[in-house]
Amino acid sequence: MDYYSTPINRLIEEFARLPGIGAKSAQRLAFHILNLPPEQVEQLTSAIKNARENVRYCKQCYTLTDQELCPICANPDRDHSTIMVVENTRDLAAYEKTAKYEGVYHVLHGAISPMLGIGPDDIRLKELMTRLAGPVKEVIIATNSSLEGETTAMYLSRLIKPTGIRVSRIASGVPVGGDLEYIDEVTLLRALEGRVDL
């Protein structure tokens, strides 16, 4: 039995399709929207439409942007000889928040996953290899520490090393505030292998 009218149910269903939004969150969002002033609802719908119509991939690094080149690739002060390879735009944003990395990025839009049928041709590897024909000195592989991320990192390493370009992998290990007894063996091994002198 439906508790709400058709328009409300439809709004809840649309919100529930979004990743990470369950039935209760979808219901909460729907009622929040219904209680907003009409001008705020119009601003929200306008922002969604505008983003969908105007956001595209940067022609160099394939992050999301509304220009031909994203602000990072267009910045002449960035080190264009160092490319950090990430799985998605959210990973790029995470590194940018550190305000310490001064190179540029390449967004793969996924990771190699034979189990899911995602191969090297399904992510932006060809575009990366084209970029490496330029004056690139180092490629930093910053894929996730998952099985797919590790598979992608190994594949990239084998692909890039013969070109003579330096290939490095971000360190992984014990998170800040993590208790050793709850951390898996692979993470602990990585932390041990990546140890530094004090």
**Domains in the chain: boundaries:** 79-198
pLDDT of residue 114: 87
pLDDT of residue 1: 44
Dist CA 110 CA 122 (whole Å): 8
pTM for this model (two decimals): 0.80
CATH of domain 79-198: 3.40.1360.10
Give the strands of the sheet with 166-169, arranged side by side. Answer: 103-107, 79-86, 138-141, 166-169
Give the angle subtended at the CA of 112 by the CAs of 161 and 84, to the nearest 5°.
Answer: 50
Tokens of 27: 């219901």
Dist CA 187 CA 193 (whole Å): 10
pLDDT of residue 164: 92
pLDDT of residue 16: 94
Taking the CA of residue 146 as centre, how many other CA atoms within 13 Å lie in the half-sphere pointing to its CB? 9
pLDDT of residue 4: 78
Which long-range CB contacts under 8 A does 108-114 form with residues at least 24 apart?
A: 108/62, 108/143, 108/152, 109/62, 111/87, 111/143, 111/144, 111/146, 111/148, 111/149, 111/151, 111/152, 112/148, 112/151, 112/152, 112/155, 113/147, 113/148, 113/151, 114/151
Which segments of the chain have a pLDDT < 50?
1
Dist CA 57 CA 120 (whole Å): 19
